[in-house]
Amino acid sequence: MTYTELGLLAVAGTVVLDVWVLRTRLLRRRLFWVSYAIVVFFQLVTNGLLTGFRIVRYDAAAVIGDTQPVFLGTGRVAYAPVEDLLFGFALVTQALAWWVFWGRRGVQRTPVAGPPRRWLSGGALGGPSRTGGPTPGATGDDQTA
């Protein structure tokens, strides 16, 4: 199979994993998509470095686009082949799905994330809005898992 075909297969497999296998359903959550938006920006930067400086090079027969790393070209985004976006989505989403899966199973569900350090939460970031949630950093559930 080509990189293009494998990339499409990986995205489909990732959806199946999230929705039906692990039942984490991250793809329906705002938390996931906002996080992914941040991740994909940095993917474009780091992947741009890896491909733009030709640290990693791609076989023309395996990708749909240009073989030369151009910033924006046929099948190229920020120097990298568009297939890398499929690859990255699968890698990142699967890792997050497993992370949430183990949390749901009670494996180190706590200590939970946050709150940001005081000198930040009082500033431009704004405080987290928690209503009826657990005390941030609380322990107590399933520490043995």
Residue 119 CA to residue 8 CA, distance in Å, equals 44
3-state secondary structure of 79: coil
Q: Which of 12, 68, 71, 104 binds another protein (CB under 8 A)?
A: 104
Instruction: Work out whether 58 is an interface residue with another protein (CB under 8 A).
Output: yes
50 counts as binding another protein under rule CB under 8 A: yes
Question: With binding defined as CB under 8 A, does residue 5 bind another protein?
Answer: no
Question: Given CA atoms 24, 26, 29, 31 in this order, what sign does their dihedral have?
Answer: positive
Question: How far is residue 114's CA from residue 12's CA, in Å, rounded to a whole number?
Answer: 33
Number of residues that bind another protein (CB under 8 A): 67
Place of tokens 């199979």: 1
Are 43 and 37 a contacting pair, CB within 8 Å? no
Q: In Å, what is the CA distance from 33 to each residue of 28, 29, 53, 93?
A: 8, 7, 29, 10
Q: Closest approach of Cβ 99 to another protein, in Å?
A: 4
Two tokens, residue 7: 């990339």
Q: What is the footprint of another protein within residues 24-43 (CB under 8 A)? A: 24-26, 28-32, 34-35, 38-39, 42
Shortest reach from residue 120's CB to another protein, in Å:
6
Residues that bind another protein (CB under 8 A): 2-3, 6, 10, 24-26, 28-32, 34-35, 38-39, 42, 46, 49-50, 53-59, 62-63, 87-88, 91-92, 94-96, 98-104, 107-117, 120, 125-126, 128-130, 133-134, 136-138, 141, 145
